[in-house]
Chain A
Amino acid sequence: DSGVTQTPKHLITATGQRVTLRCSPRSGDLSVYWYQQSLDQGLQFLIQYYNGEERAKGNILERFSAQQFPDLHSELNLSSLELGDSALYFCASSVAPLAGYNEQFFGPGTRLTVL
């Protein structure tokens, strides 16, 4: 158990819909990262927050947005869903913001299926 929690574990929805994925980081971690993992694209970095502020952006679509709240939990909002958005979405957290030098602890992921 990494200490990072993600809800829900599974989500099935239809094209065109909007969903929200939730992540609670490890106690004491200020930085949260979101990743998408699909069979054809591998693990893709989406976005990072540090202490409530956006820190870095990766391959995140305009239909996707995220935020980190004062209690440090984070939400990833996916809208106008397409079949290709079906994937595993991971949240990770670290104490400090430098992902390349600090250990990221990954949550168990949310499996999103868009029908």
Chain B
Amino acid sequence: TQLLEQSPQFLSIQEGENLTVYCNSSSVFSSLQWYRQEPGEGPVLLVTVVTGGEVKKLKRLTFQFGDARKDSSLHITAAQPGDTGLYLCAGAVNNNDMRFGAGTRLTVKP
């Protein structure tokens, strides 16, 4: 059982659609990060959120950290084929022990 549950596991949408992916846990995290991983490469950090209720925007991506710091969501507006990839959330159990979710595999079709 993963400490962080991500949903959906797979998501296939058309270019221009909006989507939200979720990262849930019963544990409280001191911080939470979102990464994107493309095939054959390592994950790349998108954002770090540390305060409960925090919302961060990165162009078409909006990240939210739950008030209780147990969950997070990533919303993408007007998805593009370049957004295709594996989206991973990772929570810091303590300052150094990062636990990753299994990821949401997103495919954006042109």
Assembled-state Cα–Cα distance A108/B101 (Å): 19
Q: Closest chain A residue to B4 by CB distance?
A: A42
- How many A residues have CB within 8 A of the partner chain? 26
A98 touches B42 (CB 8 A): no
B40 touches A103 (CB 8 A): no
Which residues of chain A have C-beta atoms less than 8 A from B50's C-beta?
A: 100-101
Q: Which of B31, B41, B43 makes the CB contact (< 8 A) with A101?
A: B31
Q: Closest chain A residue to B103 by CB distance?
A: A42
A56 touches B44 (CB 8 A): no
Which residues of chain A have C-beta atoms less than 8 A from B55's C-beta?
A: none
Q: Closest chain A residue to B50 by CB distance?
A: A101
- How many B residues have CB within 8 A of the partner chain? 27
Which residues of chain A have C-beta atoms less than 8 A from B98's C-beta?
A: 33, 45, 58, 99-100, 104
Assembled-state Cα–Cα distance A2/B40 (Å): 13
B99 touches A99 (CB 8 A): no
Which residues of chain B have C-beta atoms less than 8 A from A106's C-beta?
A: 41-44
A positions within 8 Å CB-CB of B: 2, 4, 33, 35, 42-45, 48, 55-56, 58, 90, 92, 97-101, 103-109
Assembled-state Cα–Cα distance A44/B97 (Å): 10
Q: Closest chain A residue to B48 by CB distance?
A: A101
Which residues of chain A have C-beta atoms less than 8 A from B30's C-beta?
A: 100
A110 CB, nearest partner CB in chain B, Å: 11
| Contacts A/B (CB < 8 Å), 14 sampled | A42-B100, A42-B101, A43-B90, A45-B100, A48-B96, A55-B96, A90-B42, A97-B96, A98-B96, A99-B97, A100-B29, A103-B48, A108-B41, A108-B42
